[in-house]
Amino acid sequence: MTQKSFNIAVAGATGAVGNQMIDCLEERSFPIKTVKFLASKRSAGKQIRFKGDMTPVEELTADSFKGVDIAIFSAGGGTSEKFAPCAADDGCVVVDNSSQWRMHPDVPLVVPEVNPHAVSGYKTKGIIANPNCSTIQMVVALKPIHDQYRIKRIVVSTYQAVSGTGKKAVDELFDQTRAMINFLDYETTVYPHRIAFNCLPHIDQFLENGYTKEEMKMVNETRKIFEDDSIRVSATTVRVPVFYGHSESVNIETEKPVNPEDARSLLENAPGVKVMDDPKNNVYPMAIDAAGQDLTLVGRIRKDESVDNGLAMWIAADNIRKGAAVNAVQIAEILAKEHL
């Protein structure tokens, strides 16, 4: 029997995440019949290499999705708001990387290692949302512990790479670093302050409650993905001068007693997780190990001595790959195998 193949579109194909999505489709041998690369008018006609052929970028319009089976979007919230419904009206299923649709009650929010069953909820709106990069790596690591010990509370601080902001931010960190080590003047255009040799406790807009939008994404998305609104989450999200790879310090409080050894062995057998936890030999997850690969790295697993039942750990993953492109392509794989 020949394998079924699909007409695929990538919206935002010229961006940092879009580029990785294209690489992932190729690396993972996604069953593709035809492929379309979409971006803004500015990029129309640019060529992108895919499976050895050069394919021209087309301008994204409301008519781009006729005959397309699956469209993976990473072109900003406004573009998803406007064009994802057009694609769905044409019978195309959208996997959207923006935050636009994540909390919509009729849009599933999926991390394939955690809640793959939720994909089937796409039928109402024709859209599936990819969670925030920081949420994805945290829930991949916490899901096995939640299933076994029930997590009641999470306190997380993130150390997020500039690539999460897009290509302009990668350039800004590079330019500022080069300028500073040469005692030259530098410009600050992407972030409100210098990012080189600095940490900014500020990702996305501040809200009335004092948290940022990024922090509240971690709260609300974790609850939606775990299908458990009772979990209490407090997040502090920080931009750090790292190019690729988000790291997180995570403390959890569980209902049932949990010890680090049992948590470590659960995580050693968990899908998508690699335990790197041998501090005596300086082995722990680092952004430089996370970058360029697809697993969520977990280490520094220890008892949180400030509560009765608690653990502390350190988690790192590639924010552009597992935090965005890989997760979206994994969702598309479930659609292709089980639903289309």
- Which position among 18, 144, 164, 323 is part of the footprint of ligand A2P (CB under 6 A)? 18
CA nearest 235: which of 298, 325, 160, 299?
160
Give the strands of the sheet with 70-73, arranged side by side: 47-50, 53-59, 32-39, 6-11, 70-73, 93-96, 127-129
Q: Which stretch binds ligand A2P (CB under 6 A): 14-22, 246-254, 293-301, 314-322?
A: 14-22
Q: Give me the least distance between CB of 64 and ligand A2P, in Å please.
A: 9
Tokens standing for residue 286: 């680092």
Q: How far is the CB of 82 from ligand A2P (least distance, A)?
A: 8
* Best CA proximity match to 266, nearest among 279, 280, 254: 254
CB of 175 to ligand A2P, least distance (A): 16
Closest CA to 310 of 257, 232, 268, 265: 257
Asked if 164 is part of the footprint of ligand A2P (rule: CB under 6 A), the reply reads no
* Under rule CB under 6 A, residue 12 binds ligand A2P: yes
Nearest to 164 by CA among 73, 98, 119: 98
d(CA 108, CA 95): 10
Binding span for ligand A2P by CB under 6 A among 23-31, 38-46, 92-100, 137-145: 38-46
Which residue's CB is nearer to ligand A2P, number 60 or number 107? 60
Residue 23 half-sphere exposure toward CB, CA atoms < 13 A: 16
# of chain residues touching ligand A2P (CB under 6 A): 16
Among 109, 106, 110, 100, smallest CA distance to 125 is for 106
Which residues participate in catalysis according to the annotation? 133, 246
Of positions 40, 148, 177, 293, contacts ligand A2P by CB under 6 A: 40
Binding residue for ligand A2P (CB under 6 A) from 35, 71, 75, 326?
Answer: 75
Q: Site residues (CB under 6 A) for ligand A2P?
A: 12-16, 18, 39-40, 42-43, 60, 75-76, 79, 166-167
